[in-house]
Amino acid sequence: MDARPSMTPDELLQAYFEGPLSPEEEAQFNAWLEADPSNWDEFVDQLDVHASLWEECVLSTAAERQLKEDSGPSRPPKRKAVALRAGAAYRRARPDRPYLVPAIAAAGALVFVTALVLFSGGDGRKTDGAKAVTRSPSTPIAAPVDDPKPLLSVKPNEPVSPPPPPHAPPRIPEEPPRPPAPPKEPPKPLPPPPEKPAPPEPPKPPPPKTEAALAKLERVEGDVFLLARRGRVQAKGGEEILQDEGVETSGLKSLAFITYPDRTRLEVAGESVVSELSERQGKRVVLAKGQVGADVSKQPADRPMTFGTPHGDATVLGTTLRLTVDSARTRLEVKEGKVKLTRDRKGIDVMSGHYAVAAIGVELAAKPSRVSSGLQALYLFTEGQGLEVHDTSGVGAPLDLRIRKASSVTWRATGLEIHGRTYVASPGAAAKVVEACRKSREVTVELWVKPAKSTSEFEGCLFALSNDDRARNLTLLQGDRADSLNLFAVWLRTTATDATGAPPLVGARGMVEQRLTHLMFGRQASGAEKLYVDGVERASRVRAGDLSVWSDAFRLCLATEGPDIEDERPWVGEYRLVAVYSRALSGDEVSRNHKSGVP
């Protein structure tokens, strides 16, 4: 587990507002809240200002825009003045309820509720009219940046035009810096204000982009958005990306391919945010979250390409790499070339075939990358929450797993802990895995697990491609029903065995311990089967037959062998990694994955 230092209350608060928190951060946040009643006051106070800023900066803009649209083309000018006057009039009429003013001026929700009430005809039921006002979850209430409210653009010395408060607030001095101190250099100039939209009649085409494009969205799949200067807009293939614009992919199956004029290519995986692409002292890509694969063309020596993440920077001159960012860490994997990864002024060179992790409390170090050839399914258990375990292999359609009984599992920062009977399985058949293995006639299953029990009476199913213990393709057990001892056993069905795959390949007794353990089982087309524990071969044999009898109707399941969780050998412990390959990995490759550790 990575040791993350405690966050300060300010860091915790902002992290909470940005979300999501890691389980450790959640625990720390809750503990902080409960430690002192004044912490609740601080939280509610911060939330109040947070919400007020949202109302002031976004909702009021939306409400004003709504007024403009509602008033029709015959009265286009000075809508903003009308809106402000209306707000002022309301305030004069209701001096006892001053807090209503920002709500009325800003309230998209109030407009909605008023419409709801008026359209409902008084029968207390929602109507189509009301529904028509409800926007879809994917549509923001307001297009936030194409017409930013000028409130914040007022220069400090300019007269304040809105109604002055009864008591002019004092000038707020700069708060003295606290460790860590914010940067002292003056802020960079903000992006230029977005262009005003064309008047409604007659419609004019948007002004053409005159600025040279930095890169291009070559292709998009699923919901992809351009984080443009004019706001977050749905992106299409072929669209140009300008300086400082970004790209967001929404949904795990979404994908975006970005190309630069020098043929440098980025592949933005689903649920990712590339918050900025720029080119000043070289190309720069800021990955706020998610995963980006990059094939970087040779860059000038004095203008390397950099990838910025919340946890560090990766600097490249020309290479193929993959960057993955979650809330806690950045993982850099280099396939070709060399990349310099820096964090807190410390840097390491990550060579081809290696990876490194940048995170709080983790020392930068390059480790050999895991074997990827023949990979069919990969589960890293980094979700941290929810009832799904995602297949991150990137091979074919993801074979995600569902957790049936949430109360039997706990997400840890390091993986998924199983502490009760549950069924973690693919909703449908694991056809992509079975078909690939039948075709190659080989298979390897790899696990990083931490057993919670190691007594000789205990037996549990770690991994299975199976229906139950009477019909299976492959099952890896801790313990064994026939000879229940603290060992690992593999049951594999071939054309020369019955449907259960008996007899099993069993490792030496006494090998199960309550610690992080690396398990690999592989079978070659020749019939050679080997079981490795922590990189060391612990059992082997040669068996006749092949995998052509494997059923493609079985699911891939963890923690039990079948859906009957009361009977199918529930396992307890923590999963850190599960991988399935459609080939037998060599001894060297087994050793490489073992040395690579848990990603």
| Binding of residue 282 to another protein (CB under 8 A) | no
Does 532 interact with another protein (rule: CB under 8 A)?
no
With CB under 8 A as the contact rule, which of the stretches 174-182, 201-209, 255-263, 542-550 interacts with another protein?
174-182
The residue from 36, 129, 132, 140 that contacts another protein (CB under 8 A) is 140
Tell me whether residue 167 or residue 209 sits nearer to another protein (CB atom).
167
* Secondary-structure breakdown of the chain: helix, strand, coil percentages, each rounded to the nearest 5: 20, 30, 45
Check residue 66 for interaction with another protein (CB under 8 A): no
Query: Closest approach of Cβ 504 to another protein, in Å?
Result: 36
CB-wise, 101 or 429, nearer to another protein? 101
Shortest Cβ distance from residue 531 to another protein (Å)? 35
Per-position x/- string for 372-401, each x denoting binding to another protein as judged by CB under 8 A, each - no binding: -----------x-xxxx-------------
Give the x-and-dash track for 478-497 against another protein (CB under 8 A): --------------------
Q: Which stretch binds another protein (CB under 8 A): 168-176, 259-267, 437-445, 510-518?
A: 168-176
Instruction: Name the one range near another protein by CB under 8 A: 22-30, 296-304, 463-471, 536-544.
Output: 22-30
Q: For 502-526, give the DSSP string.
A: PSPEE--TT---SS-EEEEEEE-TT
Burial letters for 252-290: b for 16+ Cβ neighbours within 10 Å, e otherwise? bebbbbbbbeeebbbbbbbbbbbbbbbeeebbbbbbbbb
Q: What CA–CA distance (Å, rounded) separates 226 from 147?
A: 17
**Using CB under 8 A, which of 56, 221, 295, 534 touches another protein?**
56
Q: Does 182 bind another protein (CB under 8 A)?
A: yes
196 binds another protein (CB under 8 A): no
Backbone torsions φ then ψ of 48, nearest 5 degrees: -60, -45
Q: How far is CA 223 from CA 233, 249, 269, 531, 536, in A?
A: 10, 6, 11, 43, 45
Residue 88, SS3 per DSSP: helix
- The C-alpha atoms of residue 80 and residue 87 are separated, in whole angstroms, by 11
Q: Count residues binding another protein (CB under 8 A).
A: 119
- Burial degree of 203 (CB within 10 A; 0-12, 13-18, 19+): exposed
If the CB atoms of residues 72 and 122 are measured against another protein, the closer one turns out to be 122
Residues 187, 205, 207, 208: which binds another protein (CB under 8 A)? 187
Angle made by CA atoms 471, 474, 477, in degrees to the nearest 5: 100
Question: Residue 504 interacts with another protein (CB under 8 A)?
Answer: no
User: Which tokens hold the place of 44?
Assistant: 């509610």
DSSP run (H or E) holding 48: helix 37-54
The answer for 179, left when phi > 0, alpha when psi is -120 to 50, beta otherwise, is beta
Task: Give yes or no for residue 427 binding another protein (CB under 8 A).
Answer: no
Rule CB under 8 A: is residue 26 a binding residue for another protein?
Answer: yes
Of 310, 579, 289, give the one whose Cα is nearest residue 449.
579
Which residue, 23 or 527, is less far from another protein as judged by CB? 23
234 binds another protein (CB under 8 A): no
**Taking CB under 8 A as the rule, does residue 21 contact another protein?**
yes
Sign (positive or negative) of CA dihedral 572, 576, 582, 585: negative
Window 321-340: residues binding another protein (CB under 8 A): none
| Contact track, another protein, 74-103, x by CB under 8 A | -----------------x-----xxxxxxx
